[in-house]
Homo-oligomer: A and B are copies of this chain.
Amino acid sequence: MTETARRLTPKGQATHDRIVAAAARLMLEQGVARTTIEDIQAAAGVSPSQLYHYFPGKDALVTAVIDHQTTQALDVQQGCLERLDTIDSLGRWRDVMVNILTEMHCVGGCPLGSLASDLSDSDPVARMQLAGAFSRWQELIREGLTEMQDRGELAADANPADLAVAMLAAVQGGLLLSQVNRDPAPLRIAVDTMIDHLHVLTHPATP
């Protein structure tokens, strides 16, 4: 966000990125507080002085991890949601999320949701940062639904903004239940139910 990377050698940039990636993975798997600087050093293969050369302290590292996960998550969402021309495309969007979760064996849940639950009440700065990320995500969904509505794929009297909130909540809640049950089914069912709601809103007289 701010003008980081003032004078960064390619090698330095690589080390920087390696640290963020390692921190992101560890914080997702075991939580922020349980992830020690030493853990990150080991996972990234760097020495203490390297880590503190690129980040003033753990707080800055957390900020960088949130940015990293936000970019990652929204990129995936954008890729799926920009071509939202039909109900079926929502099904593909659901498949992408279920597949990612399955590859992770349901460990970690949502990279943004885990951070949000972890940090919302401990780190006001992080909370604001994450609230912004969720706003953008919600907006992405809303835009897609609005386009569908304009195209007549969604009932004219539906409220895309509220439906976007509900859809995002279904994703987050589904991911949490999948994480605790180690089973992708809850995510699939939760999202499918919301998709079904859009469907039934549009075609009330389904035989």
Identify which of B114, B165, B177, B206 contacts A177 (C-beta below 8 A): B165
List residues 154-207 of chain A with CB under 8 A from any CB of chain B: 162-163, 165-166, 168-174, 176-177, 179-182, 185-187, 189-190, 192-194, 196-197, 200-201, 204-206
Instruction: Name which of A30-38, A42-50, A77-85, A86-94 contacts chain B.
Output: A30-38
Q: Is A109 in contact with chain B by the CB < 8 A criterion?
A: yes
Q: A113-B117, A200-B197, A204-B205 are in contact. Are A189 and B165 (CB under 8 A)?
A: yes
Contact B166 A189 (CB under 8 A): yes
Contact A134 B177 (CB under 8 A): yes
Which B residues are in CB contact (< 8 Å) with A130?
180
State which size class the interface on A falls in.
35 or more
- Whether, in the assembled complex, A131 has its beta carbon less than 8 Å from a beta carbon of chain B, the answer is yes
A177 and B170 contact, CB distance less than 8 A: no
Q: Is the CB of B177 within 8 A of A168?
A: yes
* CB pair A177 B172 closer than 8 Å: yes
Are B170 and A169 interface neighbours, CB within 8 A? yes
B190, A122: Cβ atoms closer than 8 Å: no
Chain B proximity of A77: nearest CB distance (Å): 15
Interface string of A94-113 (1 = CB under 8 A from B): 00000000000001110001
Separation of A162 and B205 alpha carbons in the complex (Å): 22
Q: Are A177's CB and B169's CB within 8 A? A: yes
| A176 shortest CB reach to chain B, Å | 5
Partner of A107, one of B34, B121, B165, B177: B121
Listed by A's residue number, 20 A-B pairs whose Cβ atoms lie within 8 Å are A29-B121, A30-B122, A31-B31, A31-B121, A114-B117, A117-B117, A121-B179, A131-B180, A134-B180, A134-B181, A162-B192, A166-B189, A168-B177, A169-B186, A172-B172, A173-B173, A176-B176, A193-B194, A196-B197, A205-B205
